[in-house]
Every structure is written in structure tokens, then in C-alpha cells.
Structure 1
Amino acid sequence: MVDIEQLNPRNEAALRAWWDVGNQANAYRPGKPWPVWEQSRVSLPAHNPERGVTLLAAIDGREMVGAGLLVRPLKENLHTAMAFAYVRPDRTREGIGRRLVRELEVVAAGDGRTTLQGEAYLPPGVSGTAPEAFGRAMGYAVASRESIKELATADYLQRRSGLVERAPVPDGYRVITFDTVCPEEHLASFGRLLGMLMSEVPLGELDLAASDWPPERIREAEQRQVDTGRHVLTAMALAPDGAVAGVSDVRVDDSDTVHGQVGITIVDPAHRGRRLGLALKVATHDLALASYPALESVDTSNAEVNTWMNAVNEALGYRTIETLLELQKKL
């Protein structure tokens, strides 16, 4: 009999077994789809008032054969939760994944969540795969499609001079960069731009609402990044009047300095049409490489319908390695 149990993330031995299951379950995917152990060891037990985390373990005797993760936002979108289920490759097709998802749904419903979201991954241009079929069988519809892209930094360096020529910083604007902590004089304007994110990013049918980012919330989020060893390498475009016109970042963890991830990229609609997005991307990638010379790759994801951002990323040298299906179910 396989038992489904909740796991205490502060139990390091149990957390390592949970991490191992997820690592094995994602080993078939291209790129670097699973965090290194040290990232999970630090981040999962850390207190975070922005989110609630529940870990599940599928136990067969003394072995962990499946792992579940439920993430609940605690500041906004309180009707939603994100659910993930992983099964060890040698134990698939035994109903373990189905039981994990059902238990995640029970936990979510018990916390008052009415919309559950998840993800399925498949090769580009392919449909009808097992993860897609599993989501459909569990009642999850495709709410959005995204492309997961990866950039080899060597390719970026070969293209860089041409990119700078194509996207100089517009007259009257300037671009500043920083590691994680926003300069105080730009904090309020930065929060205003962050509050636009959900309304400006293509969400498809995802049931998500915008959020507010007052200065104190930003500072608390920055401190959590610092405490867990994550560097949010940020480029910020300032308009002629001093307002934040756009922002982009690349995130690198102290525990994995050869791989980075793009976090957010947004340009205020009032300042679009000036190639600020490309200029910001060049600035963040330059900062990441200056900070971490051994950086080998960076990954990102964008909605397939976001043609502008996809074009910017392709100009930098990003190549699609996977399709991400954003799944959603009303409980």
C-alpha cells in the first residue's frame, strides 16, 4: 500500500527524499527544470508571508515514490493555489500521481481555494502527450500556452554588439542596474509598475487578479531573496520625468551560479515603442555575466501569443526547448 502523507520541510532527510523524487521525475525534460538541492533545502523551509507551502509524500514501505507540492498565495488571489505532482519514473502508471493530485485538491479546498492551477510540459510542436492527457483526465483545462526558452550565454555574447546598435537607450531616458535592492528614490514608482504586471502580461484564461506593491512589501520581498541567497539582477528604465518606465531582471542563486532565470520584464504602456524592452534585456544579461562570469545559460517563458516579447528573446539568442501548458480547474 502507498500512503500519502504531509511532509515537514524542516525535516531535512525527508525533504531530500522529496527533492530526489522531483529531480528524477523531471530528468527527461530539457534544460534545467529542477532546482539544485541547496536551493530547495534553503527556500522550501523558509518563512514566507507571501505564500503557504504544503509538501506531500507518497510512501511505499520505507521508500518515497511520489511527491506533491501545493503553493497558496497569501496576499492576493486567495481563491487560487498551484498544484504539482511528481512520481518516480519506475513507479508511474500505478495511480500514485492521481492520488497525489486528489490530496492536493483536498488541502486546497480546505483552505478555501476554489481555483487550482497546474502545469504540463511537452516538446515544442507536439500534442497528445502523457502529461497533457493526465491533466485532462483529472479535469484540468488548458488556460494558457507558453514557450520555455533557453539562452546559451556564449550565443548572447556573439550577438551583443548588434543588439546594442539595434536598441540604444532612447534620448531622455536612462537605464540603471542593481542587485536585488531597489534604490530608495525609485521604490514607489517601481511598485506602481509591479502592480501593472498581471494586467499587462497575457494570461489567457488564467483566473488571476492584479496585486498591490507598496514599498514595505517590496522591501520584505527583497530581504527574503537576500536571506535565501538569490540575486535579482535588475535593470530599470527611468523616463525623462524620473518615473520608472520599465524593468527586467535575471535571477541567479548562490547555490547555482552557472544557470539563471528571467523573472519579470515589463514596460509601462505609456513608454512602449522605443525598444526599451530590448535595451533592458541587454542590460540585465550584461549585469548577470559581469556578476557571474561562469554563467552558462538563462531560461525564460512567455505566452505564445506574446509575439513582442518572444521576438525580443529570439533576438537575444533564446531558443524554444519546451511547451508549457498552464492548466486550471474549478474545484
Structure 2
Amino acid sequence: MSIEIRPVDPHDESALRSWWEVGRSATAVRPGKPWPLWEQSRVSLPADNPERGIDLLVAADGDDVVGSGLLTRTLKDNPHTAMAFAYVEPGREREGIGRAVVGGLEAIALADGRTTIQSEAYLPPGGTAAAEHFAAALGYAVASRETIKELTLADYAARRESLVAEAGDAAGYRVVTFDTVCPDEHLVSFGRLLGMLMDEVPLGDLDLESSEWTPDRLRAAEQRQVATGRHVQTALAIAADGSVVGVSDVRVDDTDHEHAQVGITLVDPAHRGHRLGLLLKLATHDLVRSTYPSLLTVDTSNAEVNQHMNAVNEALGYRHLETLLELQKRL
């Protein structure tokens, strides 16, 4: 066997489809919806994005594509890091293909001056998987542990009335909802809150730093979402002085109105203790239910140490699907 690592041009739809097929096959054994639909990938991966650099690789055995890899690099924040993902065609494991793909991704990261590589491994609840041992063998340490959860909308509907009563009306606050594009009057304050994200979410040992979200940067990010067919159904908590003090969102692609994913949930520490997290999640889940009547499930993930948010999600009806290991390696 002679494995060749080749770059993939995301604008070459045939080559991109071969890359995508390996990832789909490699993740098919996982529960939930672990791999995006082709119609979404073919639009989002070639799209111009000044915030993110991507590199795609395939491992070829002659004419057969037997492995694939993805490297993403943030271009405005955390310039020392990159995210690497490797996939191997089922039945071709333990042939050195995954190791060759990871080596190719790490070489690209090093050439770009990245000194920390992050990745992920997915395990069944309370169990282990080959990916965990593969990562350890390549020098990737566990930096944080998360739980991936799934909510069926039918279960949410059955719980909603009691949750609304529990959340109350959060006196002194109001909730504003929108689809992807933030109202002008909240834009600056929303950016201030987003800039707190990396300082407030549990990161474990992940080597990540906070970022600044200016109005121009926010507007550009929104337009990229619109251009690639992604709707970010968002709820903001507004304090009495008009400032944005909380946010939660659920993301739905135009290509898939059956499955959605929670993006972020964040409440300013100075305004915690008012059940704003639950109130915001109720608002976004109600919004996606009314906007997408065919929606079946919503996925989310939270750090295991984030007891408060885990409790909120369990109250909503989310159930543990997988354990996510956030991995990290210093190059």
C-alpha cells in the first residue's frame, strides 16, 4: 500500500464530494447528526471567509480516497492555534492512514506559524472509543470534557408549560428575538457581550483567548451566515438600561429543517441569578418551533463542569448522546 496525501480545492466539486464522502462514512456510526448534508458543505466550505482559513486533504490509495482531513485556522483571533480533524474510510483503519492525514494537517499548521493544535474525539456515554487512544498515541492530551445532548421537540413541547412557570418573567429584563441579523440599536452592546465569551465559558486547559466584536465585524459575520443559508435564531436579554446582558441562539440550515444546533448561551456575570439562561433558551426554542414546524431535534454541548447550564438543558429535555473530548497538542 502506498498512501498519498493530496490537497483538495474546495471549489473542485468532484474532489470536494470525495472528501465529504469519507467524513460521512467515518461518522455514520455516531448518534444524532454528526455530519453536515452535502448541500450545505458544498456551499459553506468554498465560501470566502476572512475570519477563517481552511485546508482540506485526502489520503489516496491509487484512485481510491480512503482518508480525509480538515484544518481550520482563525485569522483574526488566536493566531497561534488551529483545529485539525481526520477521518478514515471504514474498513481501512489501522493502516496508518489516519496518522498520515494528521501529519499532513500538522505540517500545514506549522508552516503557518501555529503552535497549538486542537481537535476532538467522541465517546459513548461512560465508555471509550478508538479515537481516544489514537489521539493519545499522537500526543493529543484531553484539555476539556463536554457532553453532547439531543432534544426532541416533542419532549420539549410536553415540558414547556412548567418551564415557563419556573422561569418567571425576570423582572427588570426583556427578551428580543431575531433571525441572524441583530437590530441596530443592540449591535454595539451585543458585540461587547460576545467579547466576554472566552473569558466566561469553561475552557479547561484549552489555549484560547478572548476576542473583540466590533459592529462591522458582527455585520460581516451575519452576512456570511445569510449567504451560506444558515439561520441563527437568536434571543437577547435586555437590561433596564438597554444593555445586552444575555444571549442564546439555535442554528438551522436551509438544507435541513429537521435538525438544529444550539450555538452559544451566555449571561453577563453581573446579571446572573435571574433565570435569564432558561428564559433565553425558552425564547429560542419557541422561535425555531414556530419558524420550522418540521423540526425534530436540537443538539447542544456543554462542559461537564458547567453544572448550571447542564441542569438547564436537562430540564428542557436534553439527553446525553456522546462525550466529547476537547484535545490539544503543542507543536
Task: Give the TM-score normalised by the residue count of structure 1.
Answer: 0.99
Query: How many residues are paired up?
Result: 330
Q: CA deviation at 1:277?
A: 0.2
SS in 1 for 2:265: strand
**Secondary structure in 2 aligned to 1:10?**
coil
CA distance in 2, matches of 1:285, 1:16: 33
- 1:59 equivalent in alignment to 2:60: yes
Q: In the alignment, what sits opposite 1:168?
A: 168
In structure 2, the residue corresponding to 1:232 is in which secondary structure? strand
Secondary structure at the aligned position of 1:18 is classed as helix
SS class of match (1:85): strand
Q: Which residue of 2 aligns with 1:208?
A: 208
What is the aligned partner in structure 2 of residue 83 from structure 1? 84
Mapped pair 1:107 → 2:108: yes
Q: Which residue of 1 aligns with 2:219?
A: 219
Aligned to 2:26: 25
C-alpha distance in 2, partners of 1:195/1:169? 27
Q: Which residue of 2 aligns with 1:49?
A: 50
Q: CA deviation at 1:170?
A: 1.1
Looking at structure 2, the residues matched to 78 and 168 of structure 1 have their Cα atoms a distance apart, in angstroms, of 43
Name the structure 1 match of 2:262. Answer: 262
- CA distance in 2: counterparts of 1:38 and 1:256, whole angstroms: 9
CA distance, structure 2, for counterparts of residue 196 and residue 206 of structure 1: 16
Instruction: Give the match for residue 317 of structure 2.
Output: 317
How far apart, in 2, do the equivalents of 1:169 and 1:94 lie? 58
Deviations 1:225-254 (A, max 9, x none): 000000000011100111001000000000
RMSD: 0.6
Aligned to 2:295: 295
Indicate whether 1:178 and 2:173 are aligned.
Answer: no
Whether 2:286 is the aligned partner of 1:283: answer no
Whole-angstrom distance in 2 between the partners of 1:168 and 1:216: 35
AA paired with 2:273?
G
Query: Which amino acid counterpart does residue 323 of structure 2 have in structure 1?
Result: T
What amino acid does structure 2 have at the position aligned with 1:210? S
Q: CA deviation at 1:196?
A: 0.3
Q: Secondary structure at the match of 1:25?
A: helix
CA distance in 2, matches of 1:7, 1:168: 52
Structure 1 residue ranges (4+ consecutive) displaced by more than 6 angstroms after TM superposition? none
Moved more, 162-171 or 73-82: 162-171
Q: Name the structure 2 match of 1:248.
A: 248
The residue aligned with 2:132 is: 132
Which amino acid letter does the alignment assign opposite residue 231 of structure 2? H
Aligned to 2:144: 144
The 2-side partners of 1:90 and 1:195 are apart by 44
- Could you tell me how far apart the structure 2 residues matched to 1:168 and 1:54 are? 47
For 1:8 and 1:95, locate their aligned partners in 2 and report how far apart those are by CA, in whole Å. 24
Deviations 1:121-157 (A, max 9, x none): 1001113x31110000000000000000000011000
Q: 1: distance between equivalents of 2:207 and 2:171?
A: 39
User: Do residues 195 (structure 1) and 227 (structure 2) align?
Assistant: no
Amino acid at match of 1:175: V
How far the C-alpha of 1:169 sits from its partner, in A, is 2.6
Aligned amino acid, residue 168 of structure 1: G
Q: Which runs of 5+ in 1 are unaligned?
A: none
Q: Which amino acid aligns with 2:101?
A: L
Query: Displacement, 1:20?
Result: 0.5
| Contact 1:233-1:251 at 8 Å conserved across structures | yes
Determine if contact 1:169/1:276 at 8 Å carries over to the other structure: no
Contact 1:147/1:320 (<8 A) preserved: yes
* Alpha-carbon separation, structure 1, partners of 2:40 and 2:151: 21
Q: State, as a whole percentage, how many aligned pairs show the same letter.
A: 69
CA distance in 2, matches of 1:174, 1:15: 45
Q: Deviations over 1:194-237 (max 9, x none)?
A: 00000000000000000000000000000000000000000111
Q: Is the 8 A contact 1:169 1:175 kept in 2?
A: no
Is 1:68–1:104's contact at 8 Å kept on the other side of the alignment? yes
Q: Distance in 2 between matches of 1:35 and 1:169?
A: 37
